């Protein structure tokens, strides 16, 4: 691999890990705002609780990054991520999420170009390693938004994800 390819791959993997960390940070802020008794509350029958969302995020990230890119067996039980209605406290959910993200970041840190270009079938989809990483990061971000939205509906307050940061600063070249 040449130097430019190596830098590109490192940049991609580092930014992917950063996005995983950002979603984790936002979920932790959201979960801190919710009362313990509301972690498993559903907005309606066709939606999921915050607890279900976190279990689903962990299951997806484990299947896509940890098992697939990490060359481990896939033991995911997807239906249980949605059928669970209790059993984890806020603290336990955060620990499970942090552990899953740490394992995923470790796999990403150890990826090479062959792993990122190799095609695999994950959850029935034929994806390259790059496609797997993109899916997992996007999927996590999508559900982070759902958790934040449901939290805001319950607590009726801004979650302050970017407190202390001026988001009106213009781009610089």
H/E element holding 73? none
- Note the pLDDT of residue 2: 63
- Note the pLDDT of residue 5: 63
Pick the CATH number of 3-155 from 3.30.365.10, 1.20.120.450, 3.40.50.300, 1.20.120.10: 1.20.120.450
By three-state DSSP, how is residue 48 classified?
A: coil
- Note the pLDDT of residue 118: 95
- Note the pLDDT of residue 6: 83
- Note the pLDDT of residue 173: 83
Q: How far is CA 8 from CA 63, 112, 116, 137, in A?
A: 25, 11, 12, 17
E strands present in the chain: 119-122, 125-128
* CA atoms of 25 and 48, how far apart (whole Å): 20
- Note the pLDDT of residue 1: 53
Kindly give the parts of the chain with pLDDT less than 50.
none
């Amino acid at each position: 691999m040449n130097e430019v390819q190596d830098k590109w791959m490192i940049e991609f993997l580092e930014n992917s890990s950063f996005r995983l960390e950002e979603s984790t940070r936002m979920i932790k802020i959201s979960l801190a705002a919710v009362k313990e008794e509301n972690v498993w509350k559903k907005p309606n029958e066709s939606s999921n609780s915050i607890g279900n969302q976190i279990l689903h995020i962990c299951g997806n990230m484990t299947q896509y990054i940890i098992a697939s890119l990490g060359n481990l067996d896939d033991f995911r039980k997807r239906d249980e991520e949605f059928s669970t209605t209790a059993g984890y406290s806020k603290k336990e959910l955060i620990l499970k999420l942090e552990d899953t993200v740490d394992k995923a970041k470790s796999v990403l840190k150890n990826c090479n170009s062959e792993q990122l270009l190799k095609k695999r079938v994950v959850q029935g989809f034929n994806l390259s390693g790059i496609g797997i990483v993109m899916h997992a990061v996007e999927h996590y971000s999508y559900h982070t938004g759902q958790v934040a939205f449901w939290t805001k509906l319950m607590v009726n307050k801004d979650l302050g994800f970017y407190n202390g940061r001026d988001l009106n600063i213009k781009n610089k070249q």
